[in-house]
């Protein structure tokens, strides 16, 4: 890659905006995931009775089960949200930026 | 009960510690299991055919190290999931659920949550910057010699520890499942893995992993389905029946003693999360896909498969409580025949008869083979691509020479793995996988991460910070309860926590930063200036390695 191309990409306002959006987006999702996990562990560490309580009077299923399965699903869903946006919107912008720089 | 509590303690102490339990403790040899052996030979036959097919397609270095970059996101997702779903995690998590219920779910969640973060932050940058090994990325704008040597050492140490744990686990497991002698089992695993890697390179290694992942997921799905069918498709019935027969009663429905110390638990979580992002055999999978888009897709599929697999093992564990616990044909005076790790295997017999038992045993063996092959390939790549071609020959060797060195390194690693596997047969090696993850999180990951995210990183900072991470991870594990008390038999641990990652990784990041900002040499300034082109390539993929072949 030649330096004029780099400079053109670097100075393209579209690129700057995309990098910013992507950064905010991926860090926010990471923080959400970490927060979910830490909350889960901290509840188990400090207040585990909460997860041991049954969902209702006539069931043996405790709150911990749907919450645990929910954490697993959240990991999958968050990844899906990221991949969807990155593979469409961000990739499209990247292609445009690169094409403009190579003209 | 005592056995169970020992098992739980060892579980807490280090990572896929269930591996540890499959590994630790004496096992009795079983009578020869014929259907398992027949199915295992079918698997070996099929994978050797694939190796033959792959060997014909493996010509260039790119074919050998990265399967020509032609693996699709979906296939790679399966392969990554396969690397993660080891025999140890299949048998170990279901054993943990069988022994203490809910705690098994907590443990598996710790393994899963790292994947999304890898997707958001590192997957596509890795793909855009790397070629064959993660050292390509770490040394992208730094001095090749020191950074590649450091990364190669990090890779080899991680691979060696992980490989020993897998080899010993393989020997014990095969002894238990097939009635085969320990050393012959270890030698057989060693020879097969060398053949896959040496002749078929990354293409064969990936396909062996994909096939095994499909077999394991189908087998586990069938077991979970049968458990649900027997409970009349009501999880309520499944849970209440399990509570009825389990000695701990309703306690299996709530968190037990697994997270008694939140700091240790968070440290474990960090070790798992960032350790995964520093495991060389996982990182190299990102170079086998065509572009960043496929790299992202791979982690998405991998996360889905791994999450699904953990939900299955949870059901399987409860199914084992319901159908295997207290059943005379699976238990003796000491509890489950063969120990808690056999819960899933006995359940296979209970829901599918002898033939299915044979299938699951063969899949467990296949799983070990697939994982050790990936490890061996990543170790061999570090030797040939980083140490030989880049550091020693300064990039002046030909592709053919590089591949040759890689094959020699594969044979050498195979021999070392067999010898160490035999040497460690009677040792307590529960700490080894934990140590591998901690080193990956404290030495490999910080350097890799800073090289992609921080402009100010210099060669001096990377190497010194990385070495400090490596040394502190090893030291803290040795001084901690897992080695200081359990292995060296001292009364009290000098370092209170079993999982050092929280501390050793922080130290690595801090010193990498410190030594980088203190570095005012001319080369350091050049390295900082080279960040921009690297950053643009990592974001756009301009100049990145493309795919050379489709499979």
Q: Do A45 and B537 touch (CB under 8 A)?
A: no
* CB-based contact, B299 to chain A, within 8 Å: yes
Residues of A in contact with B293 (CB under 8 A): 86-87, 91
Lowest pLDDT segment from A20-29, B27-36, B288-297: B27-36
Q: Render pLDDT for B78-102 as a digit per residue (tens, 0 to 9).
A: 999 998 888 778 888 898 899 989 9
Q: What is the mean pLDDT of residues A12-37?
A: 93
Residue in chain B nearest A102 by alpha carbon: B542
**With DSSP H G I counted as helix, E B as strand and the rest as coil, what are the percentages for chain B, rounded to 5?**
75, 0, 20
Q: Render pLDDT for B219-251 as a digit per residue (tens, 0 to 9).
A: 999 999 999 999 999 999 999 999 999 999 989
Q: What is the mean pLDDT of residues B286-295?
A: 92
Tell me which residue in A44, A80, A86 faces B255 most closely, judged by beta carbons.
A44
Q: What is the mean pLDDT of residues B390-412?
A: 92
pLDDT tier at B7, thresholds 50, 70, 90: very low
Cβ density class B175-202: b for 16+ within 10 Å, e for less: bbbbbbebeebbbbbbebbbbbbbbbbb
Q: Render pLDDT for B325-362 as a digit per residue (tens, 0 to 9).
A: 888 888 887 788 878 888 998 999 999 988 898 899 88
The beta-carbon contacts of B350-357 under 8 Å, at least 24 apart in sequence, are B350/B323, B350/B324, B351/B222, B351/B223, B351/B226, B351/B227, B351/B230, B351/B319, B351/B323, B352/B222, B352/B223, B352/B226, B354/B35, B355/B35, B356/B219, B356/B222, B357/B33, B357/B35, B357/B36
Provide ipTM, 2 decimals. Answer: 0.93
Residue in the block written with tokens 């397609």:
B57
Q: Do A65 and B102 touch (CB under 8 A)?
A: yes
Going by C-alpha positions, the residue among B284, B273, B254 that lies closest to residue B440 is: B273
Q: What percent of chain B has pLDDT over 90?
A: 55
For B4, the 3-state DSSP assignment is helix
Q: What integer pLDDT is reported at residue B15 of this predicted model?
A: 35
- From the number of C-beta atoms within 10 Å of its C-beta (0-12, 13-18, 19+), residue B134 rates as buried
Residue in the block written with tokens 């499959």:
B22
Q: What is the mean pLDDT of residues B522-549?
A: 84
B114, B307 Cβ separation under 8 angstroms? no
CA distance B452 to B139: 10
Q: What is the mean pLDDT of residues B416-430?
A: 85
Angle at which helices B292-323 and B235-245 cross, to 10°: 50
Tell me which residue in B254, B260, B304 faces A52 most closely, judged by beta carbons.
B254
Q: What is the mean pLDDT of residues A68-87?
A: 96
Tell me which residue in B112, B304, B540 faces A94 most closely, judged by beta carbons.
B540
CA distance B408 to B42: 28
Of residues B66 and B544, more confidence is placed in B66
* CB-based contact, B116 to chain A, within 8 Å: yes
* CB-based contact, B266 to chain A, within 8 Å: yes
CA distance B441 to B419: 27
* CB-based contact, B234 to chain A, within 8 Å: no
Lowest pLDDT segment from B47-51, B314-318, B329-333, B457-461: B329-333
Cβ density class B440-452: b for 16+ within 10 Å, e for less: bbbbbbbbbbbbb
* B180 phi/psi in degrees, rounded to 5: -95, 155
Q: What integer pLDDT is reported at residue B256 of this predicted model?
A: 81
Q: What integer pLDDT is reported at residue A44 of this predicted model?
A: 87
Q: What integer pLDDT is reported at residue A82 of this predicted model?
A: 96
Q: Do A75 and B533 touch (CB under 8 A)?
A: no
- Which tokens in the block code for residue A56? 């209702």
- Which tokens in the block code for residue A95? 């292609």
DSSP 8-state code for residue B206:
H
Q: What integer pLDDT is reported at residue B498 of this predicted model?
A: 84
Q: What integer pLDDT is reported at residue B246 of this predicted model?
A: 92
Q: What integer pLDDT is reported at residue B490 of this predicted model?
A: 87
Domains of chain B: 2-540 (1.20.1730.10)
Q: What integer pLDDT is reported at residue B499 of this predicted model?
A: 85
Q: What integer pLDDT is reported at residue B381 of this predicted model?
A: 94
- From the number of C-beta atoms within 10 Å of its C-beta (0-12, 13-18, 19+), residue B19 rates as buried
Q: Is the pLDDT of residue B550 over 80?
A: no
C-alpha pair distances (Å), B533 with each of A99, B101, B247, B516, B538: 17, 51, 62, 19, 9
Q: What integer pLDDT is reported at residue B32 of this predicted model?
A: 67
Lowest pLDDT segment from B51-60, B177-186, B381-390, B497-506: B177-186
Q: Render pLDDT for B203-215 as a digit per residue (tens, 0 to 9).
A: 999 999 999 999 9
B86, B373 Cβ separation under 8 angstroms? no
Lowest pLDDT segment from B65-69, B174-178, B198-202, B454-458: B174-178
Parse chain A into domains and list their residue ranges: 22-102
pLDDT tier at B27, thresholds 50, 70, 90: low
Q: What integer pLDDT is reported at residue B9 of this predicted model?
A: 39
Whether the CA torsion B399, B404, B409, B411 is positive or negative: it is: positive
pLDDT tier at B2, thresholds 50, 70, 90: very low
Of residues B176 and B10, more confidence is placed in B176
| Residue-by-residue DSSP string for B385-434 | IIIIIIIISTT-S-HHHHHHHHHHHHHHHHHHHHHHHHHTTTS--THHHH
Q: What integer pLDDT is reported at residue B430 of this predicted model?
A: 66
> What does pLDDT average to over chain B?
87
CA distance B498 to B483: 9
Residues of A in contact with B109 (CB under 8 A): 37, 40, 68, 71-72
């Amino acid at each position: 890659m030649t330096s004029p191309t780099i400079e053109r990409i670097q100075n393209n306002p579209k690129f700057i905006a995309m990098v910013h959006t992507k950064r905010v987006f991926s860090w926010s999702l990471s923080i959400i995931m970490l927060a979910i996990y830490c909350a889960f562990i901290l509840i188990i560490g400090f207040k585990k009775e909460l997860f041991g309580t049954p969902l209702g009077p006539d069931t043996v299923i405790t709150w911990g089960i749907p919450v645990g399965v929910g954490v697993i699903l959240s990991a999958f869903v968050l990844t899906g949200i990221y991949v969807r946006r990155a593979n469409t919107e961000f990739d499209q912008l990247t292609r445009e930026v690169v094409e403009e720089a190579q003209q | 009960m005592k056995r169970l509590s020992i098992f739980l303690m060892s579980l807490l102490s280090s990572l896929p510690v269930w591996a540890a339990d499959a590994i630790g403790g004496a096992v009795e040899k079983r009578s020869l299991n014929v259907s398992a052996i027949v199915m295992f030979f079918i698997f070996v036959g099929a994978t050797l055919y694939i190796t033959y097919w792959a060997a014909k397609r493996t010509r260039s270095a790119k074919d050998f190290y990265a399967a020509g970059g032609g693996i699709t996101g979906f296939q790679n997702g399966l392969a990554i999931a396969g690397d993660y779903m080891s025999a140890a995690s299949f048998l170990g998590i279901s054993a943990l659920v069988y022994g203490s219920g809910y705690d098994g779910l907590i443990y598996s969640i710790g393994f899963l949550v790292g994947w999304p973060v890898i997707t958001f932050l590192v997957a596509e940058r890795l793909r855009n910057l790397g070629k064959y090994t993660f050292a390509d990325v770490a040394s992208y704008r730094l001095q090749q010699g020191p950074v590649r040597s450091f990364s190669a050492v990090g890779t080899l140490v991680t691979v060696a520890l992980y490989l020993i744990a897998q080899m010993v686990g393989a020997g014990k497991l095969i002894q238990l499942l097939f009635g085969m002698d320990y050393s012959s089992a270890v030698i057989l695993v060693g020879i097969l893995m060398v053949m896959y890697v040496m002749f078929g390179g990354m293409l064969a290694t990936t396909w062996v992993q994909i096939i095994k992942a499909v077999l394991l997921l189908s087998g586990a799905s069938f077991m979970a389905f049968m458990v649900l069918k027997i409970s009349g498709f009501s999880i309520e019935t499944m849970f209440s029946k399990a509570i009825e027969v389990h000695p701990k009663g309703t306690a299996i429905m709530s968190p037990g003693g697994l997270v008694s110390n939140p700091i240790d638990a968070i440290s474990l979580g960090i070790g798992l999360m960032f350790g995964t992002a520093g495991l060389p055999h996982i990182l190299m999978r990102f170079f086998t896909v065509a572009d960043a888009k496929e790299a992202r897709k791979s982690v998405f599929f991998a996360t889905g498969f791994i999450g699904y697999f953990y939900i299955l093992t949870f059901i399987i564990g409860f199914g084992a409580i319901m159908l295997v616990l207290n059943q005379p044909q699976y238990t003796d005076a000491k509890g489950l025949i063969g120990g808690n790790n056999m819960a899933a295997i006995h359940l296979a017999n209970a829901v599918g008869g002898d033939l299915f038992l044979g299938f699951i045993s063969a899949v467990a063996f296949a799983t070990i083979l697939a994982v050790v092959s990936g490890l061996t390939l990543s170790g061999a790549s570090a030797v040939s691509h980083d140490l030989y071609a880049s550091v020693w020959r300064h990039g002046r060797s030909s592709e053919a020479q590089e591949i040759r060195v890689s094959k020699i390194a594969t044979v050498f690693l195979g021999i070392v793995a067999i010898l160490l596997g035999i040497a460690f047969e009677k040792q307590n090696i529960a700490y080894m996988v934990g140590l591998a993850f901690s080193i990956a999180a404290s030495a490999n990951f910080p350097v890799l991460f800073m090289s992609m995210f921080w402009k100010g990183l210099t060669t001096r900072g990377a190497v010194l910070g990385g070495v400090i991470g490596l040394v502190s991870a090893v030291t803290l594990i040795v001084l901690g309860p897992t080695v200081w008390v359990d292995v060296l038999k001292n009364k009290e641990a000098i370092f209170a926590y079993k999982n050092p990652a929280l501390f050793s990784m922080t130290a690595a990041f801090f010193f990498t930063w410190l030594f980088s900002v203190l570095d005012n040499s001319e080369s350091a300034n050049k390295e900082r200036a080279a960040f921009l082109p690297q950053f643009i390539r990592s974001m756009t993929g301009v100049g990145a390695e493309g795919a050379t072949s489709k499979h």
